[in-house]
Amino acid sequence: MKKLVTDARNDNPFAALEGLRASLPAQPAAPAPAKAEKAPKPPRPAPARAVVRIERKGRGGKEATVIEKLALSDAELETWTRDMKQSFGCGGTVEDGAIVLNGDQRDRAVAFLEKAGVAKVIRG
């Protein structure tokens, strides 16, 4: 039978660390407290009224749904336009403080505005 010869290369490299285990703290350190987050701004109330009408003049005979009198900031108009375009599957833009959607979207627009909380929606 051959005799096993131990070599330094075969020793466990972590054996020396085993003796230091007793000096470690019993509990892991608590994580650093997270930064205090700012409270989100309360949502702005929906506009009191909106006028929904269809327009063909100056559009090459094509129909466009125009939503006016919303009294929203430009950023809010852009957000509402984006949401309507995604919801209705149509194109659209903001022109002179009004939302303009491609095609006849009056029924959908009225339902969307009522769901968004607009108190009075006028079909023009």
Query: Per-residue pLDDT for the chain (124 aa), expressed as one digit of tens each?
Result: 555 555 555 577 777 777 787 787 777 667 777 776 776 766 677 788 999 999 998 888 899 999 999 988 899 999 999 999 999 999 999 999 999 999 999 999 999 999 988 999 999 8
pLDDT for position 6: 52
> Residue 101 in contact with residue 113, Cβ under 8 Å?
no
Query: Computed over its alpha carbons, how large is the radius of gyration of the chain?
Result: 33
Q: Indicate the domain borders of the chain.
A: 49-123
Class in CATH terms, 49-123: alpha beta
Query: At what angle are helices 106-116 and 74-88 packed, to 10 degrees?
Result: 120
pLDDT for position 21: 77
